[in-house]
Amino acid sequence: MQLSNEVKDQLQRYHLSELYNSYDYFGAHPFTHNGEQGILFLVWAPNAIRVALVGTFNYWNDESDPMERVTDTGVWGTFFPGIQAGEVYKYKLFLPDTRAIYKADPYAFYSEVRPETSSVVFDLDTYDWHDDKWLEKRQTFTPYKQPVNIYELHLGSWKMKEVGKFENEAFKSVDPSSFYNYREIADELIPYLKEMHYNYIEVLPLSEHPFDGSWGYQVTGYYSMTSRYGNPSDLMYLIDACHNAGIGVIFDWVPGHFCRDEHGLMYFDGTELYGDIDHPQWGTKKFNFYKSEVRNFLISNACFLFEKFHIDGIRVDGVTSILHLNFGLDHNPYKNEFGGGEDLWGIQFLKELNLAIFDRYPFAIMAAEESSSWPMVTHPVDKGGLGFNYKWKMGWMNDTLDYVELDPLFRKGSHDKITFSMHYGYSENFILPFSHDEVVHGKKALIDKPVGNYEDKFKTLKLLMLYQITHPGKKLNFMGNEIGQFIEWRYYEPVEWFLLDYEKHEDQRQFNSLLNRLYMQEKSLYEQDHNPAGFKWVDADNRDQSIYIYERKATDECLTIVLNFTPVEYSEFRVGVEIPGEYRIMFTTKEAPYRIKRYQYIKTEAVSMHGQDQSILIPLGAFEGVVIKKKKAVRKKK
């Protein structure tokens, strides 16, 4: 089989430089050869002495369709005439030590439903997209001055058809018949997102993975979106429908490590082709980023998700593990060429990744899940940064949850857990996450973290949600948080939607819907998220009452937020304001309707408070948060 010189040149780039569309060459592609239509298969396996294509089309006979070396760098290829989408295949690799191993295609676009492990031929270009207006609009989109309100979800357990139906009871492997198809999920999910006023979803990893309990974080098929919920066209339908409803789609992505399953990347051609360092606590292998082929494989995968699935952003999982050679190890056996523990090639990979994505997709959200104090994560590469445009604010999340877990009587001793976040608030561009990681493994559901009785937990959850929405930074909440679900997330059970039959939980859902709408409509809450001019402490030091007061500012508007983290009520509480006039409480966490429509204006008094000459008196309830806005001056007609 002869490949064109152009294709050979591109394959040479895969080994020597940059080939960020390697998915156009490797894998299984429709092809015409000598007038015959069929599928061209290409795979990189430099250590193999022989490779055979086996599948349903040749009865898994490893003698009938040997592959040829098409480059001197270990690329093997073959053309099989007459086959189409739906054919099942693998590669059989014969190794120098006389072993023969079966491997799934690293570039497979579709896979069998687990526990089966073969790759499936699929043509990704057959779906008819209808999101042209969205794609055109997002070309000029920059998230910094826009509201970004993300609903994080695990597609398999957002809703289920049959709860508790397992394929494997011991490992809680869910029977595939319990899952909704991507298209069915779209029809259920999108109206809910609209009602709740989220404008993004972030989906836990959809790259093919063999074990439900990994949640998608241990990948075997990077280019194969999981077949648990349907085929790639079904997923495209979901994303298409989101875009037509004005909802962006962010994929959770795992480029730091891969799992050890035999059919995957582990010892792909009998050697450590893709990985080397062990992650013992995850049971995975870290990618060896010093190989240009590995960097091309991963960066191409990110580009592939934007190009073929029209996604709007990526949350890069486990960035800390990419940056450090000895991440998760009890000792430090690995050193870089200068004697340090930083993974210099991992750092280079992240920079290359972000440069490639923003060059092609300038609208993208590229968010780093980076849990250390690594500097300049969201600074440009040419300024010494890693090049992301967002970082999860893990310190804010940990401090905030530590604070609300304290008995209210003792919160004054940890007052700075709330104020500290603004000391580094503009060092990076932040997303504020209450994510899936915080509601599993005994950490308790979000509503169950605060100390107190049943009533107090709901009050504190509302206060916590208001604090997140009014704090500088974009927002992320995991499914179930918005309805006050008490049970931790379980990947094998759906969100407890039946709780909405109970008044408190339905009230919590309605509260979050109204709060999200407030966020989407009040530009003071997002326009200057990353500008120090957008935030001002009014009172950061009232530790005895555990009350915090701050302002959020747009260029021409301002909101004052008051948060009371104790059960003490105040019939009158004085708040200092800059400008004399009339103010109103426009939102409260105390009781429905929350978003107050009938305005009762409060006139300022010439009483000094909080360093201001003017102040107002407001009522402030137990565990209550309020949003205050100045009455706009009415322009008189000439």
Residue 276 falls in the annotated catalytic set: no
Task: Report the candidate in 181, 301, 156 with the shortest Cα–Cα distance to residue 231.
Answer: 181
Q: Which of 105, 269, 293, 369 is catalytic?
A: 369
Please tell me the distance from the alpha carbon of residue 196 to that of residue 151, in angstroms, as a whole number.
10
Of the residues 105, 240, 269, 317, only one is catalytic, namely 317
| Structure token pair of residue 540 | 């950061």
> Could you tell me the two tokens for 92?
């059989």
Cα gap 483→111, rounded to integer Å: 35
> What would you report as the CA-atom Rg of the chain, rounded to the nearest whole angstrom?
27
Q: How far is CA 285 from CA 254, 278, 288, 448, in A?
A: 12, 5, 9, 35
CA distance 555 to 308: 39
Tokens at residue 629, please? 């806005």
DSSP for 66-80, please give it: B-EE-STTSEEEEEE
Note the helical H segments in 366-409: 394-404
CA distances to 47, 71, 220, 348 from 290, in Å: 18, 21, 21, 9
Residue pair 417/540 in contact (Cβ under 8 Å)? The answer is no
Q: How far apart are CA 107 and CA 223, in angstroms?
A: 5
CA triplet 518, 243, 193: central angle to 5 degrees?
40
Burial category of 375 from C-beta neighbours within 10 Å (exposed 0-12, middle 13-18, buried 19 and up): exposed
Count of beta carbons in the 10 Å neighbourhood of residue 72 = 9
- Are the beta carbons of 519 and 149 closer than 8 angstroms? yes
Burial class (CB in 10 A: 0-12, 13-18, 19+), 98: exposed
Q: What's the rounded Cα separation, in Å, for the pair 466 and 595? A: 12
Contact 79, 87 (CB under 8 A): no
Residue 577 CA, distance from chain mean position: 38
Give the three-class secondary structure for 357: helix
What 8-state DSSP symbol labels residue 111?
B
3-state secondary structure 257-304: EEECCCCCCCCCCCCCCCEEEEECCCCEEEECCCCHHHHHHHHHHHHH
Is residue 372 a contact partner of residue 409, using CB atoms and an 8 Å limit?
no
d(CA 378, CA 387): 5
Residue 115 in 3-state DSSP?
Answer: coil
C-alpha distances in Å from residue 170, one per residue of 166, 179, 213 = 9, 19, 11
Rounded-to-integer distance, Cα 142 and Cα 552, Å: 20
Contact 364, 358 (CB under 8 A): yes
Residue 198, C-beta contacts closer than 8 angstroms, at least 6 positions apart: 149, 150, 151, 247, 516
262 labelled catalytic: no
Contact criterion met (CB below 8 Å) for 184 and 416: no
Which residues are catalytically annotated? 317, 369
